Chain A
Amino acid sequence: MEPATRTETLDIEGMTCASCASFVEKSLARTPGVQRAVVNFATEKATIDYLPAEASPATLKEAVVKAGYGVLERAPDTSAADRQAAIDQQKARAYRTLRRRFWVAAGLALLIMPLSMLMLWPAAMQRVNMQALNYGLLVLTLPVLLYSGREFYVSAWNGFRHRAANMDTLIAVGTGAAFLYSLAATVVPGWFTRQGLMPEVYYDTTATIIALILLGKLLELRAKTRTSAAIKALMGLQAKTARVVRPDGQEVDVPIGQVQLNDIVLVRPGEKVATDGLIEEGHSAVDEAMLTGESLPVEKRAGDQVFGATLNKTGSFRFRVTKIGADTLLSQIVKLVEDAQGSRAPIQRLADKVSAVFVPTVVVIAILTFVLWFDLAPVESRLPLALVSFVAVLIIACPCALGLATPTAIMVGTGKGAEHGVLIRSAEALEKAHQVNTVLLDKTGTITRGEPAVTDFVPAPGQDAAALLQVVAAVERQSEHPLAEAVVRYADARGATQLPATGFQALEGKGAQAVVDGQPVLIGNFRLLDEAGITLPPAVRQAADALLAQAQTVLYVAVAGQAVGVLGVADTVRDTSAAAIRRLQRMGLEVVMMTGDNPLTAAQVAGQVGITRYFAEVLPADKAGKVKELQAEGRVVAMVGDGINDAPALAQADIGLAMGGGTDVALEAAGITLMRSDLQGVVTAIELSRQTIRIIRQNLFFAFVYNTLGIPVAAGLLYPFFGILLSPMLAAGAMALSSVSVLSNSLRLRGFSPAKN
């Protein structure tokens, strides 16, 4: 059944304060047919549920305008995947047309070529009528020009009207000149003979150039679709439907576009998670590799976040929808990658400047080539020589190779990064990352897990460790404090049986208390015990001091008024940190650590992961200063942090890498976001950057060298010395190959895989 109400989202303009939002909201709510209107001031969006019979988007807009605000017209609200599908369809159609045009040109060129060769064969020349042959060639060439090559002329003309010149201009002028000369030689051969010239025709040149350029375009189009394959794969991940559980318990499959916030969605084993949400009940392991690059499935239970497009493996669960449409993590990743692919890399600047003036410059060079040949060559051959060189210069010049050199590599590189959970925000970030020679790691959350874990449990002499741990866990199970969670994890890992606790009370800033087995239990900091008048026996005090010396957080435990033990809680080093840091060092990078801990702890962690230089006792506010300090040493610094507490340092660094805890990341925080909490991502990011830049350099080198060598050779520079004159047909072949080679070189990045230790 169709839902009775429809939902419309409007972008509101001109709201300056929160009261504006409520004003718009009221105005909308008063509109007939509107059942619910919510205006979000921060996002400047109004979400309205309305009865389609009584209200329409137009009346809603009117209500907003009446309230004195504006509605921003939005692009049609189709999903990115739909839009992409439509574009793909159009591209496929264009490809088929292009292929047909190529085959027509190639087929006719294959006929025209041997017929033109007849002229070189004196015996044949005497038997056929030259005039008739030329007319025959003209008839064969016309379809090549008017059907296969039509686009070049149309595009060149359109460009010309805009005072713009592109590659098509060169081809149109080049083939046009060859054709018009041939046409004249065919129609009025007498004029040529009177000037002492052979009425030669260049129909084969015209047809072959068009066929070859079309072949190049065909190959280029095929390769180009592959450069954006990664992002299309990401878009394709979006689930099409969701199984929504209605309030009455009924399960309905609905298209993803109709899923609303706060809907309850059921996910069975093997199914895709439809959108982002929080698990309400059930538990499972979810494969998030497509978003984070993490190959192992992640355990999820009630209260955990799940993300659209991830794959549910083992259990089934229900989740409450918290994000839909463009707000989901998948959509944000797609947008980020798209934006990065749209950005310009600084390395491209020179190529950009050159390509802006390229075509008109080549046209001028071609004209001067014509003039020089005409003036310097022997009178009887000057016109054909001038013409052939003119055409060759126009045809060999390839602005495409210049234009494609950087963007194609950036597209493949950023797409490849997303595949490995490395999100690159811009081409500039990708380029910057390859210059890095120093990696500064903020210890907490990058080298270490950034969440506390119990490292030591020291019961007082005479206490049963296992029994005491059960009592401690019983109290901490009631608490929501991160330290308490660490204790519970520690106890669970040791198989502590669950005991009931009563009268639980959280004591702000101190700890917690409860009654277990009829005895009052206190867990917390020293102040908690001190205020309760409990003194520490020497053994417990010693254990506490030892832990404090290691910069650990100490939890004191008292049962029935007696201090009975201490727990040491600290942040622990990730399993992969040492290997990743070794790898970075092998790549020739200096790895430096920064931490708020005391020098002793800092030295310990640094030693554990093989770091020799570190900054200890760095206050949060001084982090950016440390980055500056390293930069002052002439280093190019990559700063790796969690993206939340160290935003200024990430911004100060030459390139900031934010490492998200799982998928809960602020994507805007840094130049590069690592979706996986693992330093291996830093290695991947820097390696990918280095490879991409290497490819770009090769491409640019090739494109520049190709054009700077090709154009003079085509102009006939070698002719006075070696008698070599480039045939325009060869020029067309070289030109077609040049852009394809640049593209193929960029596509080599598709084989990138991060080095593993």
Chain B
Amino acid sequence: MDLTAIIVTLAGLALAALVVWYFFLSARPAASAVSTASGGQQVAITVKGGYSPDLIEVERGRPVQLRFYRDEENSCSEELLLPDFGIRRDLPAFQTTLVELLPRQAGTYEFTCGMGMLRGRLVVK
């Protein structure tokens, strides 16, 4: 093994570790819902190659309104699924789509794109 191979090996392993850390292990900031005057909870989510925020905290027992703004035309994000609430919605590009639900039980509920590649979590407390 020459020096180049050693460098490539070390760089490759470091890069692989970085990928694992970046996608799986790094902490994500959580966003809390904003209470509305009428007692509901509202969260604005931008959809662009992912959901931001992708970790959303809401309180249980109060209606939640998720406002998804899809800021791209990429077909990956055109569908939104909230399987635990039986919701499947088409998100038109460059528009806000409202999704309303009432979380009755505490827990973590995933929302994903149509193919399950883009992911976000709704944490009900």
Contacts and interface: CB of A to CB of B under 8 A. Distances in A.
Given A71-B38, A166-B117, A342-B86, A158 B19 contact: no
Given A65-B37, A73-B98, A407 B117 contact: no
Nearest to B65: A73
Interface in B1-47: 1-2, 5, 8-9, 12-13, 15-16, 19-20, 22-24, 26, 28, 36-40
A14 B39 contact: yes
Contacts of B81: 342, 344
Interface residues of A, number: 66
Nearest to B7: A374
B119 A164 contact: yes
A167 B12 CA distance: 21
A256 interface: no
Interface string A685-696: 000000000000
Given A69-B38, A158-B49, A159-B49, A364 B72 contact: no
A163 B55 CA distance: 12
A433 B36 CA distance: 42
A274 B75 CA distance: 36
A298 interface: no
Contact of B75 (A13, A217, A338, A402): A217
Contact of A368 (B16, B23, B40): B16
Interface string A319-343: 0000000000000000000111111
B40 A72 contact: yes
Contacts of B26: 163
Nearest to B24: A360
Interface in A80-105: 86-87, 90-91, 94, 97-98
B15 A399 contact: no
Of listed B12, B13, B92, residue having the most chain A CB within 10 A: B12
Interface residues of B, number: 55
Contact of B5 (A164, A166, A375, A399): A375
A163 B52 contact: no
Contact of A13 (B52, B63, B89, B116): B63
A370 B5 CA distance: 11
A679 B76 CA distance: 42
B29 to A, nearest CB: 11
A70 interface: yes
B115 A72 contact: no
B12 A371 contact: yes
Interface stretch (A135-143, A350-358, A721-729, A730-738): A350-358
A403 interface: yes
A400 to B, nearest CB: 6
Contacts of B72: 154-155, 158
A343 B117 contact: no
B115 A162 contact: no
A161 interface: yes
B93 interface: yes
B20 A364 contact: yes
A683 interface: no
B73 A157 contact: no
B87 interface: yes
A370 B13 CA distance: 10
A705 B47 CA distance: 32
Interface in B45-97: 48-52, 54, 63, 65, 72-76, 78, 81-84, 86-90, 92-93, 97
Contacts of A669: none
B118 interface: yes
Nearest to A353: B116
Nearest to A354: B116
Contacts of B15: 367
B74 A344 contact: no
B86 A340 contact: yes
Nearest to A344: B83
A216 B39 CA distance: 47
B16 A367 contact: yes
Nearest to B2: A379
Given A90-B93, A357-B24, A367 B49 contact: no
A20 interface: no
Given A375-B5, A426-B86, A157 B49 contact: yes
B117 A360 contact: no
Contacts of A352: 116
A309 interface: no
Contacts of B90: 87
B45 to A, nearest CB: 11
Nearest to A365: B16
Contact of B118 (A65, A69, A159, A342): A159
Interface in A114-131: none
A14 B15 CA distance: 54
Contacts, number: 164
B40 A13 contact: yes
Contacts of B5: 374-375, 382
A375 B8 contact: yes
A164 B39 contact: no
Contacts of B13: 371
A65 B36 CA distance: 12
A230 to B, nearest CB: 14
B55 to A, nearest CB: 11
Interface in A8-60: 13-14
A82 B12 CA distance: 52
A86 B90 CA distance: 11
Contacts of B49: 154-162, 164, 166
Contacts of A94: 73, 75, 93
A69 B115 CA distance: 40
A375 B116 contact: no
A424 to B, nearest CB: 12
Contacts of A184: none
A395 to B, nearest CB: 16
Contacts of A400: 115
Nearest to A84: B90
A668 B118 CA distance: 31
A683 B7 CA distance: 65
A375 B12 CA distance: 11
B76 A86 contact: no
A399 B116 CA distance: 9
A512 interface: no
A355 B115 contact: yes
A695 B119 CA distance: 26
Contacts of B36: 70, 73
A729 B94 CA distance: 34
B119 A356 contact: yes
Interface in A370-392: 370-371, 374-375, 379, 382
A168 B118 CA distance: 11
B76 A167 contact: yes
Of listed A342, A360, A363, residue having the most chain B CB within 10 A: A342
A473 B41 CA distance: 62
A168 B92 contact: no
Contacts of B82: 342
A299 interface: no
A368 B19 CA distance: 12
Contacts of B2: 379
A165 interface: yes
A359 interface: yes
Interface string A628-667: 0000000000000000000000000000000000000000
Interface of B: 1-2, 5, 8-9, 12-13, 15-16, 19-20, 22-24, 26, 28, 36-40, 48-52, 54, 63, 65, 72-76, 78, 81-84, 86-90, 92-93, 97-98, 100, 114-119
Please provide the 10 A-B residue pairs with the shortest distance between their CB atoms, ordered closest to farther.
Answer: A70-B38, A158-B49, A342-B88, A162-B50, A403-B115, A344-B83, A371-B12, A360-B23, A159-B49, A164-B50
Given A90-B92, A158-B50, A404-B115, 6 more contacts: A156-B49, A166-B117, A342-B83, A364-B20, A368-B12, A371-B8
